A and B are shown apart, each in its own frame.
Chain A
């Protein structure tokens, strides 16, 4: 599995170099450890796969925290767990730093008009903005939600509600308990369509 991923990542990286040129990455050098991430999370950490999250433009601490959660076995995923298993703290910090500096591109998600109207009220009522910030761009160890992949958001909210998604401090698990299934759908649809900047 690792071998396969590595092969695919090399191809993806080559493609990245060809048509993204230098400006997609700015002046930052791409750490070698970041190359395999592109396969699933997109070039520069902007995912094009609906079930996979974008990493670009998250706070560095939030990225390092999730890598840590995967390595420690608190958060489990058949793809991510082995990828994180052998990363050192230093490598996690470097990856986090790199992806935090990449420009987040729009997910292309189009929010239904009724959800665009209802979303802000729910985000306030259910305290999303309290931790994720007024525009849901994340802060410190809290991830960016705005413009994230829709299916990914939906899946994570459902898992938090089902109490099966790892959670450092229990905050998200407890916040999700108050959501109805309909609230989850509205929020995911609303948040995915927000500007990622």
Chain B
């Protein structure tokens, strides 16, 4: 039963929603709230807020208000590829192949630039929530819900990919509810970094849940890099300091304006970032924060806004954008659902002054049409990727489209 249940019910749309095992366990207790309302405040008991699901069959760019998209002066945004249903995380191959993941669907796509047109190939099928993709030294790594696999020499066999070899299995021994999908990136130390989210909106995580961990692909030895991380679906390393920076989603159902989602940096292995005790570095959780102190935990570098759902982030290391963009961080904000007045649904730029103080400003906007409407947006950015020529790709899972942002005449 459990096995077949996992097969059909595994993907969860929103952060807090589907604590299925918890649901089954709670079914006997009539007073228990349904899992997706877990942690809801009394003020919001009659809220009609709900998460949004992507168009799993994709939408044609011809049917979308692309003219609403805005980028700063001198930049240009265009559709780079479409027909990539539920396009999520992006990874770039040595030969220019762009690998695109799914979360609710089961595929990994390979998008090949054919000099002006893009060919979308369904590279891998039948995977279990393959949200994480990373490329390093000829190998594509894929993080599914329960394991990480490797596909060696993948760019030479896009039409006939090899069977994946397991790097590590057993990452989801209990079929965890909540945030089970994984982001994946190859660190400068040659280790694969991935998140294991918290098994619900606001719950006590198990010992390796609510973490960012790394695994050595040679030995399969795992280490915890960061703890107290509710869910991170985007991270990258500062090109100069080599420190790990990551985005983190704050809890839902506290209020419209609190807590903020976070941009964090790991300075020491094993640092604790607060969840479920302390949110946004300064706000104790009404339940789990009793008898705790936010000083125990590492605060964020920057607050990214309440419920904006920051996902992919990358340091800009290309040469196409003006010099002041170098080493800035670009963050895709997938957008708020757990908020009466919506915000996010954009890509923001984070730059730093001489003293290292961060500043956030809009970079790609226009997906948010009406902050009070349902749905409020026509597209949702998930990940950003810097290409070899310095242009930036942005994935949109709501429509299955990938956009390209360029600067100057290119």
Contact = CB atoms under 8 A, between A and B. Distances in A.
A177 B27 contact: yes
Contacts of A141: 53
Interface string B31-44: 01011110000000
A169 B8 contact: no
Contacts of A131: 50
Contacts of B35: 174
A61 to B, nearest CB: 6
Given A166-B8, A169-B12, A64 B50 contact: no
Interface in A152-167: 163-164, 166-167
A89 B13 contact: no
B59 A169 contact: no
A140 B52 contact: yes
A117 to B, nearest CB: 21
B324 interface: no
Interface stretch (A17-25, A43-51, A67-75, A184-192): A67-75
Contacts of A74: 7-8
Contact of B34 (A89, A92, A175): A175
A177 B177 CA distance: 15
A178 to B, nearest CB: 6
Given A89-B57, A127-B37, A168 B104 contact: yes
Contacts of A68: 56-57
B240 interface: no
B374 interface: yes
Nearest to A61: B55
B259 interface: no
A72 B52 CA distance: 20
Interface in A105-150: 126-127, 129-131, 134, 139-141
B96 to A, nearest CB: 25
Contacts of B156: none
A102 interface: no
A170 B374 contact: no
A111 to B, nearest CB: 25
Contacts of A175: 34
B199 interface: no
Given A131-B50, A169-B14, A174 B36 contact: yes
Interface residues of A, number: 35
A65 interface: yes
A127 B57 contact: no
B378 to A, nearest CB: 12
A90 B59 CA distance: 8
Interface range on chain B: under 10, 10 to 19, 20 to 34, or 35 or more?
35 or more
A140 B13 CA distance: 14
Contacts of A168: 11, 13, 53, 56, 104
Interface stretch (B15-23, B249-257, B272-280, B292-300): B15-23
Contacts of B26: 177
B375 interface: yes
A135 to B, nearest CB: 13
B53 A140 contact: yes
Given A174-B18, A174-B23, A92 B8 contact: no
Nearest to B21: A174
Contacts of A81: none
A169 B11 contact: yes
B375 A169 contact: no
Given A72-B106, A168-B104, A64 B57 contact: yes
Contacts of A61: 53, 55
A130 B34 CA distance: 12
A169 B18 contact: yes
A67 B34 CA distance: 28
A67 B57 contact: yes
B24 interface: yes
B85 interface: yes
Nearest to B24: A177
Nearest to B125: A72
Contacts of B27: 177-178
A167 B10 CA distance: 9
B83 interface: yes
Interface of B: 1, 4-5, 7-14, 17-20, 23-24, 26-27, 30, 32, 34-37, 48, 50-53, 55-60, 83, 85, 104-106, 177, 374-375
Given A68-B57, A170-B177, 7 more contacts: A75-B8, A126-B34, A130-B50, A168-B13, A173-B9, A174-B35, A174-B36
Interface of A: 61, 64-65, 67-68, 72, 74-75, 89-90, 92-93, 96, 126-127, 129-131, 134, 139-141, 163-164, 166-171, 173-175, 177-178
28 contacts: A61-B53, A61-B55, A64-B57, A65-B53, A65-B56, A65-B57, A72-B105, A74-B8, A93-B57, A127-B34, A130-B48, A130-B50, A140-B53, A140-B374, A163-B9, A163-B24, A166-B8, A166-B9, A169-B18, A169-B51, A170-B17, A170-B20, A171-B17, A171-B18, A174-B20, A177-B26, A178-B27, A178-B34
